[in-house]
Chain A
């Protein structure tokens, strides 16, 4: 993939649930090789957007292009080049971690030997070596690591991660960040949603912020923040992502006198 081309191109994406509008005419471009942060308050349509970008949901309108090709729920070949860690993790609880990862690896076209090698290496790297427990018996953090391993086992070109760092211990987060940086250095693209703005600020090169109902209010380069610079918006200077986010999504403070 040409690093100057767009890995993801969304044009006028719309998603309705009955009469409820979840995503409204969302258009955004994600450069190949970038670490892209997709932010928004709760219920702003982030997971719905990821659902539309990964084939889980049918958009009500608009178009999605991934790696230069039109993407629909039937795009099996494109899905093979994508990795997804969904919000709900999508783990089959009765399976053991190696069985689940083996299943995902084989479904994504890896042969048996490569699958086994990668599963063994991933489990060791993510410290998931206790094979006596099924996924249902794993802690939340361990389940998240398994879901992350499932998203990367086939070395995808585009990686979608929905809240990847929540519930994972600092060592695990550091390891994942290291992998993700290497991932983008190789020209692959990472699309992340997170509520942890400090992490996004340190990790991502570009950010898009949406408000309800899935409406894009800002998209831009944030590398300037890492160099002690500031983002100019609405005639104001923002030296961190958090004040910009709060400004765009609406600061809220209600005083409860009994609290």
Chain B
């Protein structure tokens, strides 16, 4: 095997990462600080793993603690890579690697080495090693067994994340896949909420569940690390078997690229729903609206996220219903607490699906961005139409979410419904308004066809993540410090908030569309990939 070429390509990935920072001087500083910060986190995480080891030894329940820590890490790693795209950046596709003198095997190894040599996976490994080293230092465990178990577990974790990502990507790229994906995620999201009360009520169920979990890689690794003799060996064999199984599934999937479904056709289809909706916006803006609607709704990632919006909001509302209060998961649902939680969750219902485009309107247009300036309209018309399309698509979910609230939200109270509607409208206007600024000042070239991953800019991520978390926690905090502010008695607090958000949106739209022509050359350089 040509290890030299493989090594050169892995190094190239880091050179490219570094090269991104060269484009702006400030980014160099940011990058250096980022790496220092990462090193600090690595140390802290390793210490965290060590802390878990201390707890494991002192409590005398080393295996249980190891199972819990490794299991949680395993699930978190898969979740973070699949949902947020960490550690999954496809720097080189197989097609790109074919340019170099590499065999199929070498190309595969290169891609996965680049994947696993990602800072995100280093964090996971640091935590696991922290636990392992702690167990060996404080307890009487065999270091070789511990390290082998961690290494096998780590590799199996990466392979599983790859398998799941690939499966979701394949699923999302099919027309009906997004809907199926939505159902799957809904099931997964509600599973803990449904299982927890059942497990809390009946200990036998918990024992049964643990019996099943014993056959999973984290439990196998925990046994290998903490058990003597044959039990440790069988734990290692179990992780090894999973590792081989995931590797085989991944190899099988990678060897079978998805088939294109379309058959040749020569009939032109006119009169689509997009054109009909666009027609409402007049002959000048209509074609642009229809264009943006097509652009958004044909995107697989948009379809998946948009489909997930309602289940996610329902999940968040349900799971945060107790807020900061410690209550048993099996306690009956308090409609007032659920309302507070829903008030925060519904804020983002219209934004989650469209967020990627709303904070980076032109980032997925590539060279087609030029087209907007060749059109006989004022240059900002495309930006306005894009924002309206985003608002239109997002706002469709608001009445649906409100209708869902009526049967599940406890005794009907029109004031609560009005407050929820105001929260949703505020979110729609506020987040889309903020998105306009990010579109202009922190755009990023994204991949329209990528079904997975996070390719939003720093500010885009901040708007989405801070927006969601802020929305979720603000009513909970208010319920504690200023209960009157979120009480249905004071429902009239909310319409002025929505009006303020409307004002913010209008001002943002006017300001950004005025600034847009002067920013277009900088935007062009970013969306065409000439500047990172």
Binding site for B on A (CB under 8 A): 17, 54-58, 73-74, 76-80, 82, 84, 86, 88-96, 98-99, 102-104, 106-109, 116, 119-120, 123, 129-134, 136-137
Contacts and interface: CB of A to CB of B under 8 A. Distances in A.
A130 B290 contact: no
B378 A103 contact: no
B373 A107 contact: no
Contacts of A56: 370, 373-374, 520, 524
Contacts of B283: 106
B212 interface: no
A136 B298 CA distance: 12
Contact of A131 (B266, B371, B376): B266
Nearest to B524: A56
Contacts of B367: 86, 88-91
B286 A106 contact: yes
Contacts of A92: 291, 295, 365, 368, 371
A250 to B, nearest CB: 26
Given A84-B374, A89-B367, 20 more contacts: A58-B521, A73-B517, A78-B376, A79-B375, A82-B374, A86-B371, A88-B368, A89-B368, A90-B370, A90-B371, A91-B368, A91-B371, A92-B295, A94-B299, A95-B295, A98-B270, A106-B287, A108-B375, A129-B266, A131-B265
Contacts, number: 114
Q: Select the residue from A57, A58, A107, A131 with max chain B CB neighbours within 10 A.
A: A107
A77 B370 contact: no
B337 to A, nearest CB: 43
A155 B366 CA distance: 27
A89 B371 CA distance: 8
A54 B374 CA distance: 7
B376 A80 contact: yes
A107 B286 CA distance: 9
A74 B369 CA distance: 17
Contact of A74 (B299, B365, B378, B521): B378
Nearest to A51: B370
B268 to A, nearest CB: 5
A116 B295 CA distance: 20
30 contacts: A54-B373, A54-B374, A55-B379, A56-B370, A56-B373, A56-B374, A73-B373, A74-B378, A76-B377, A78-B376, A79-B374, A79-B376, A86-B371, A88-B528, A90-B368, A90-B369, A90-B371, A93-B366, A94-B294, A94-B298, A95-B294, A98-B270, A102-B270, A103-B290, A106-B283, A108-B376, A130-B264, A131-B269, A132-B262, A132-B263
Nearest to A97: B268
Contact of A132 (B265, B295, B368): B265
Interface of B: 260, 262-270, 272, 283, 286-288, 290-291, 294-295, 298-299, 365-371, 373-379, 448-449, 517-518, 520-521, 524, 528
Nearest to B265: A132
Contact of A119 (B268, B288, B377): B268
Contact of B291 (A76, A98, A103): A103
Contacts of B379: 55, 73-74
Nearest to B266: A129
Q: Select the residue from B270, B286, B517, B520 with max chain A CB neighbours within 10 A.
A: B270
Contact of A109 (B299, B368, B374, B376): B376
Q: Select the residue from B267, B294, B371, B377 with max chain A CB neighbours within 10 A.
A: B371
Contact of A76 (B269, B376, B449, B524): B376
Contact of A107 (B263, B265, B266, B376): B376
B520 to A, nearest CB: 8
A25 to B, nearest CB: 20
Nearest to A154: B376
B374 A55 contact: yes
A17 B521 CA distance: 9
Nearest to A90: B371
A119 to B, nearest CB: 7
A195 to B, nearest CB: 19
Nearest to A135: B368
A92 B362 CA distance: 11
Contacts of B373: 54-56, 73
Contacts of B368: 88-93
| CB-based closest 4 A-B pairs | A88-B367, A90-B371, A79-B376, A80-B376
Contacts of A90: 367-371, 374
Contacts of B295: 92, 94-95
Contacts of A130: 264-266
Contacts of A116: 268, 270
A17 B525 CA distance: 11
Contacts of A77: 376
Contacts of B521: 17, 57-58
A57 B269 CA distance: 35
A103 B376 contact: no
